Chains A and B, each alone.
Chain A
Amino acid sequence: MTQFPLLSALIWLPILSGVLVLMLKHQPTLAKQFSLWSSIGVFILSLGLYTGFDATTAQMQFVEQASWIAVFNIQYFLGVDGISMPLIILTTFTTVLAVWSAFDCIKDRIEQYMAAFLMMNGIMVAVFSALDAILFYVFWEALLIPMFLVIGQWGGVRRVYATIKFFLYTFLGSVFMLIAFLYMYHQVGSFSILDFQAMPLSYVAQLWIFLAFLVAFAVKIPMFPVHTWLPDAHVEAPTAGSVVLAAIMLKMGGYGFLRFSLPMTPDAANALDWLVIALSLIAIVYISMIALVQRDMKKLVAYSSIAHMGFVTLGMFLLYSILRNTGEIQGAIMGLEGAMIQMVSHGLISAAMFLAIGVMYDRMHTREISAYGGVVNSMPVFAVFVLIFAMANAGLPGTSGFVGEFMVILAAFKANFWIALAAATTLIFGAAYTLWMVKRVIFGDVTNHHVAEMNDLTRREFMIMLILAIAVIVLGFYPAPIMDVMHSSIEHLIEQAMTSKLP
């Protein structure tokens, strides 16, 4: 193929710039500027994926294929479809904001901090574009290292506990995934994800593989009951770390379901979809109630993330029960596309929420809700942004947060009335925990002199908030551009997920 290797560029350019930034040890200003501009460059470059994308086909595009470790038939095999492409752009976009947000609040070893985020950018793009299972696995695990460092080096007081918990959980999960990969390689003689998707598999094998994937992805998303690492990781992580963690890393789990579980083990997914649906509903209802009583803002948003990711997994696994209930698959597309757009939207909103908490933390050095009160009096502009993001988090129409939840609830009804009913409680709970926090933190009279002394947004913070607010509102009023690129791929996915792979 003679075309420009765009995906490789998107993977290696950030990693390379990460290496370069590491060398700027005594020039923090230069390191910051270089990191910002290189991440902006990568983001602009990644838009080429959108403009050059052919939305009419479900085929992999921008494909690059070369042999890597020939002995095991491991390939350097990259490509994107309508499912991975939006996530890649979300990644490059979020990285710009994460890098920019760290300009003033990280004082110590800034060049290494920046380097970690640039490298994570490349690694995450690689995860979303890898079409070879080993390549995927390598990058999937590689991502843990810089994130581990970011939390472990720049994190809060209990960072050691949090990092170990985070590492243990996710590492444990992915080991199962590796075993599944090895089993399938043994059967088909290749690590190509596309080969995995096409190969027939016995029912029992599918069940085991499905469960192995479920463990790996459920930890990452995270789903109940393997979610408890997330609140701790968020609380200890520095702001930009939380942003990347919530906006992108959680999406890798959702992506895994779409790329691996549904197309590779459709019969097992069909048999065990109730399990995922049940866990999703627990995430939506049970986790929301936990979010309600949190005293730490980051923990609250972390739990809210879990609840919102519940819609992602719910939307993905509705298709079988829709077919069983109505005898047709009308509604299945809506569920899956709702899950996709929920991932993108949650990326924006959770990033915004964590950045907003970061803004307050930089001024007050606490995340306790009770330490605040009446922030609107000293930071009126900031308060407007918080309110926009809070409403988006509560799923208000006109913001991106509404689109995915709406679609998933509509699809859920096709599957079962009670599922839709349980999912729709988010309308109440989501608003309750978000707006109650807003009330206690933002509104009211100034509660103490620390709050009174808070300065409103700096120009840099304002721009970051503005960019996110615009993205959230534009997507809320016009989701079609993102929707349109994924139709073909989602239809193809449903076809795969509906076709039995029993030999």
Chain B
Amino acid sequence: MSMHAIFLTILLSPLVGAIGAGVFGRWLGRSGSHTITISSVAVSTLLAAYVFYQYIFAGAEGYNATVYTWMVSDGIHFEAGFLVDRLTATMMLVVTFVSLMVHIYTIGYMHHEEGYERFFSYISLFTFSMLSLVMSNNFLQLFFGWEAVGLVSYLLIGFYFKRESANQASLKAFLVNRVGDFGFLLGIALVVGYFNTLDYVEFFHGLAAQKDTTIAFGDTQVHMLTLLTMLLFVGAMGKSAQMPLHVWLPESMEGPTPISALIHAATMVTAGIFMVARLSPAYELAEGTLNFILLTGASTALFMGLLGIVQNDIKRVVAYSTLSQLGYMVAALGVSAYAAGMFHVLTHAFFKALLFLAAGSVIIAMHHDQDIRNMGGLAKKMPITYAALLVGSLALIGFPGFSGFYSKDGILLALDAANTGTAQLALVMLMLGVFVTAFYSFRMFFIVFHAPESEYVRTHEIHESPWVVTVPLIMLAIPAMLFGAVFVEPLLFGDMLKDSIVVLPQHDVLAAVAAHGSSALDMLMHGLLALPTWLALSGVALAWYLYIHRPALVPMIARRLSGAHSVLRHAYGFDRFNDIVFVSGARRFGDFFSRITDSRMIDGWIVNGTANTIAFLAQKGRAIQTGYLYHYAFIMIFSLMGLLAWALW
């Protein structure tokens, strides 16, 4: 099997599964549908593992080839194609692996649900979309994958289509993503406009010549590459849910839990970060954009994390932690530490999928109640889930030794090494974020598992989930613990991503970090005594103190800080603002245009004014409306044709 055929199989196999379950689901039935989708994703996962091995350990060459030509216009080739190197190979494996785990888990989670076949079809389609995005060698296919991911997330979030809130959330997710795509598309227009190509490699080759190009806006000259990368990053802000385009993500919790794991862990939200890393040669030439990215990431990391503190829905807590962690990844990109950002994407993929699936397991046990205040004391009732959620949370807060520790520390060290004013400010925000993350994660953890049993828990039978649920948890817990330690050296400091990512020497903060020791052990020893670890531990301690030791304090503090509490409860008012300004605004404009300009002015004054004159004639000609008009008109056509025929012969 040639590499090309392998790549094609990896990409298309989930699509086949999706079509199988989606179109023929009613004949295949439930088990037929999950068999076909799971086996198709399993095929992709195995082949992706083979590709990963070939690229990371056997030193396979980068692969860049066209699959087919979509069309040619104006000398520009619009194509579908593969660019596979180590970055791609890594993403492919993570995407397919997490997706496979989610597929298996879904058997248990969706067991009693309607639309079982449809759900499997969607998640396979999602896998296909994400793979076409990461495997692309050009902007057209990137945009295809980009929008396809948006489409499937729309379908998945609105999965419970009878529920108004789900329909609202899916529409919102799609539209907010479209706002990002609006920027993204303009960015692609700049690529085509200045480089006359959609191909990544040709684009990279053209960069040197366009390094100092400016665009004139009136009298101001704008650096072209800064504008280009900014516009593309607007797309990333939509997909990777950065402020202020983050608003869709918390509401995406309306979908069933497995898709939260898929959207939040390995797919969709990582698209933006992957895109920036993939296009690092361009981002390196745009300092202004990098600074903007840094600040956006740092603000998202801190402010979205704070919102996690006031959530009572178990999935929403995890959702806000996703937003916050995405902020970390984006901040890393902002100091040119693309490898650190990608590393966090990978570790996060494992531990976030783990967290969501474990939360889902709790939700199954609670008979689909998601409010943590109704839980408590679940530790003994569901030990595997308990252990899984503990592992996930420790990885999330960056507890020394766990995956998240290495990737998060890598980011913090990179920011420290960047040593600019902006980077210092961002670093402070991220450090505070570490404390906040530990606090809200363990607040949820303690309330769910260690707090006194609630009324509901006492009166209902609650037990551990079936094996289709727990096995994926275990399978994900392993990389959540170990992946970081194993891959920190090659990924952050070694040459694992060197071929895919370009960093200018003066931006190379990770090299500066490496000077202090680059092995996992070095980092562990150094990290044990460093500030982030203390911040994380104090966050856990505070959570324990407030929610286990002295729970009576909490309402008091909330009252004392009612102002801040209210700001957080309303999530800084982003939704309100959008509703008032954009949603109502657009409708009000539309209403005005429709009623005033279109109806009253154009139709009322101009058209009907003319028509009133004609109406007089119509009055007289009423006779022709009584059934003979059409005869008359057909005769008109005939005579016309007759005239023509007569003239011809």
Which residue numbers of A lie inside 8 Å of B, CB to CB?
A: 15, 19, 22, 66, 68-69, 76, 112, 115, 119, 138, 142, 145-146, 148-149, 152-153, 160, 164-165, 168-169, 225, 228-229, 286, 289-294, 330-334, 337-338, 374, 376-377, 391, 396-398, 403, 406-407, 409-410, 412-414, 417, 420-421, 424-425, 427-429, 431-432, 435-436, 439, 443-445, 477-480, 483-484, 487
Q: Are A160 and B586 in contact (CB under 8 A)?
A: no
Give the chain A neighbours of B594 by CB distance below 8 A: 290, 293-294
Given the interface contacts A398-B148, A483-B73, does A69 sit within 8 Å of B186 by beta carbon?
Answer: no
B175 at the interface (CB under 8 A from A): yes
Contact with A along B572-601 (1 / 0, CB 8 A): 000000000000001101110110001000
| Minimum C-beta distance from B201 to chain A (A) | 19
Stretch at the interface among B265-273, B380-388, B531-539, B626-634: B626-634
| Minimum C-beta distance from A480 to chain B (A) | 4
Q: Are B633 and A148 in contact (CB under 8 A)?
A: yes
| A403 to B648 alpha-carbon distance, docked (Å) | 43
Q: Are A289 and B586 in contact (CB under 8 A)?
A: yes
Give the chain B neighbours of A409 by CB distance below 8 A: 185-186, 189
Given the interface contacts A410-B193, A478-B70, A483-B73, does A293 sit within 8 Å of B178 by beta carbon?
Answer: no
Stretch at the interface among B48-56, B279-287, B501-509, B606-614: B606-614
Q: For residue A149, which residue of chain B has the nearest CB?
A: B630
> Of B71, B217, B648, which is within 8 A of A76 by CB?
B648
Q: Are A413 and B167 in contact (CB under 8 A)?
A: no
Given the interface contacts A160-B625, A424-B185, A480-B70, does A15 sit within 8 Å of B586 by beta carbon?
Answer: no
Tell me the dominant secondary structure on chain B's binding face. helix
| A483 to B591 alpha-carbon distance, docked (Å) | 39
Q: Are A479 and B590 in contact (CB under 8 A)?
A: no
User: How many A-B pairs fall under 8 Å by CB?
Assistant: 179
| Minimum C-beta distance from B608 to chain A (A) | 9
Interface contacts beyond A149-B630, A410-B188: sample of 15 additional A-B pairs, CB < 8 Å, sorted by A = A22-B634, A145-B637, A168-B614, A286-B593, A290-B598, A374-B162, A398-B144, A407-B73, A409-B185, A420-B189, A421-B186, A427-B178, A431-B178, A444-B161, A484-B71
Most chain A Cβ neighbours within 10 Å, of B71, B196, B614: B71
> Of A112, A290, A424, A443, which is within 8 A of B167 by CB?
A443
Which residue numbers of B lie inside 8 Å of A, CB to CB?
A: 68-76, 140, 143-144, 147-148, 151, 154, 158, 161-164, 167-168, 171, 174-175, 178-179, 181-182, 185-186, 188-190, 192-193, 196, 215, 217, 586-587, 589-591, 593-594, 598, 602-603, 606-607, 610-611, 614-615, 618, 625, 629-630, 633-634, 636-638, 640-641, 644, 647-648
Q: Are B217 and A413 in contact (CB under 8 A)?
A: no
Q: Can you name 28 A-B residue pairings with CB atoms under 8 Å?
A: A19-B638, A76-B647, A138-B640, A142-B640, A145-B636, A146-B633, A146-B637, A153-B629, A164-B614, A165-B611, A168-B607, A229-B607, A334-B74, A337-B74, A397-B147, A397-B148, A398-B147, A398-B148, A413-B190, A420-B186, A420-B189, A427-B178, A439-B167, A444-B167, A480-B69, A480-B71, A484-B72, A487-B73
Q: For residue A435, which residue of chain B has the nearest CB?
A: B171
Q: Are B607 and A164 in contact (CB under 8 A)?
A: no
> Of A19, A69, A330, A432, which is within 8 A of B175 by CB?
A432
| Minimum C-beta distance from A96 to chain B (A) | 21
| A169 to B610 alpha-carbon distance, docked (Å) | 10
| A465 to B610 alpha-carbon distance, docked (Å) | 40
Give the chain B neighbours of A112 by CB distance below 8 A: 630, 634
Q: Are B614 and A435 in contact (CB under 8 A)?
A: no
Give the chain A neighbours of B158 by CB distance below 8 A: 443
Most chain A Cβ neighbours within 10 Å, of B73, B75, B158, B602: B73
Q: Are B143 and A397 in contact (CB under 8 A)?
A: yes
Give the chain A neighbours of B190 by CB distance below 8 A: 413
Give the chain B neighbours of A432 by CB distance below 8 A: 175, 178, 586
10 closest residue pairs by CB, A with B: A413-B189, A289-B590, A293-B590, A333-B74, A397-B144, A480-B71, A292-B590, A334-B74, A483-B71, A445-B162
Q: Are A427 and B591 in contact (CB under 8 A)?
A: no
Give the chain B neighbours of A164 by CB distance below 8 A: 611, 614-615, 618
Q: For residue B613, which residue of chain A has the nearest CB?
A: A168
| Minimum C-beta distance from B375 to chain A (A) | 29
> Of B73, B140, B618, B647, which is within 8 A of A333 by CB?
B73
Q: For residue A421, which residue of chain B has the nearest CB?
A: B186
| Minimum C-beta distance from B91 to chain A (A) | 20
Q: For residue B145, which residue of chain A has the nearest CB?
A: A397
Q: Are A290 and B590 in contact (CB under 8 A)?
A: yes
| Minimum C-beta distance from A114 to chain B (A) | 13
Q: Are B586 and A435 in contact (CB under 8 A)?
A: no
| Minimum C-beta distance from B13 to chain A (A) | 18
| A480 to B76 alpha-carbon distance, docked (Å) | 12
> Of A22, A66, A413, which is within 8 A of B193 by CB?
A413
Q: Are A289 and B148 in contact (CB under 8 A)?
A: no
| A146 to B73 alpha-carbon distance, docked (Å) | 38
Q: Are B74 and A443 in contact (CB under 8 A)?
A: no
| Minimum C-beta distance from A454 to chain B (A) | 16
Q: Are A228 and B598 in contact (CB under 8 A)?
A: yes
| A290 to B71 alpha-carbon distance, docked (Å) | 34
| A429 to B589 alpha-carbon distance, docked (Å) | 13
Most chain A Cβ neighbours within 10 Å, of B151, B178, B629: B178
| A403 to B72 alpha-carbon distance, docked (Å) | 12
Given the interface contacts A428-B182, A431-B178, does A396 sit within 8 Å of B171 by beta carbon?
Answer: no
Most chain A Cβ neighbours within 10 Å, of B74, B161, B188, B192: B74
Q: Are A330 and B607 in contact (CB under 8 A)?
A: no
Q: For residue B189, which residue of chain A has the nearest CB?
A: A413
| A333 to B75 alpha-carbon distance, docked (Å) | 9
Given the interface contacts A228-B607, A431-B174, does A119 sit within 8 Å of B586 by beta carbon?
Answer: no
| A431 to B641 alpha-carbon distance, docked (Å) | 45
Give the chain B neighbours of A413 by CB distance below 8 A: 186, 189-190, 192-193
| A420 to B143 alpha-carbon distance, docked (Å) | 17
Given the interface contacts A293-B591, A410-B193, A417-B217, does A428 sit within 8 Å of B147 by beta carbon?
Answer: no
Give the chain B neighbours of A338 by CB distance below 8 A: 73
Give the chain B neighbours of A333 by CB distance below 8 A: 73-74
Give the chain B neighbours of A332 by CB distance below 8 A: 74
Give the chain B neighbours of A138 by CB distance below 8 A: 640, 644
Give the chain B neighbours of A293 by CB distance below 8 A: 587, 590-591, 594
Q: Are B182 and A417 in contact (CB under 8 A)?
A: no
Give the chain A neighbours of B71 by CB distance below 8 A: 403, 478-480, 483-484
| Minimum C-beta distance from B164 to chain A (A) | 6
Given the interface contacts A112-B630, A409-B185, A410-B192, does A377 sit within 8 Å of B74 by beta carbon?
Answer: no
Q: For residue B185, which residue of chain A has the nearest CB?
A: A424
Given the interface contacts A152-B629, A398-B144, A432-B586, does A479 sit within 8 Å of B70 by beta carbon?
Answer: yes
Give the chain A neighbours of B629 by CB distance below 8 A: 149, 152-153
Q: Are A424 and B148 in contact (CB under 8 A)?
A: no
Given the interface contacts A142-B637, A292-B586, A425-B182, does A483 sit within 8 Å of B72 by beta carbon?
Answer: yes
| A49 to B130 alpha-carbon distance, docked (Å) | 40
Given the interface contacts A66-B648, A376-B161, does A424 sit within 8 Å of B182 by beta carbon?
Answer: yes
| A142 to B642 alpha-carbon distance, docked (Å) | 13
Give the chain A neighbours of B625 by CB distance below 8 A: 152, 160
> Of A119, A145, A480, which is within 8 A of B72 by CB?
A480
| A330 to B647 alpha-carbon distance, docked (Å) | 46
| Minimum C-beta distance from A107 to chain B (A) | 16
Give the chain B neighbours of A291 by CB distance below 8 A: 590
Q: Are A228 and B189 in contact (CB under 8 A)?
A: no
| A409 to B186 alpha-carbon distance, docked (Å) | 8
Give the chain B neighbours of A478 by CB distance below 8 A: 68, 70-71
| A168 to B603 alpha-carbon distance, docked (Å) | 13
Give the chain A neighbours of B589 by CB distance below 8 A: 289
| A19 to B648 alpha-carbon distance, docked (Å) | 20
| Minimum C-beta distance from B227 to chain A (A) | 9
Given the interface contacts A337-B73, A413-B193, does A119 sit within 8 Å of B598 by beta carbon?
Answer: no
Q: Are B70 and A330 in contact (CB under 8 A)?
A: no
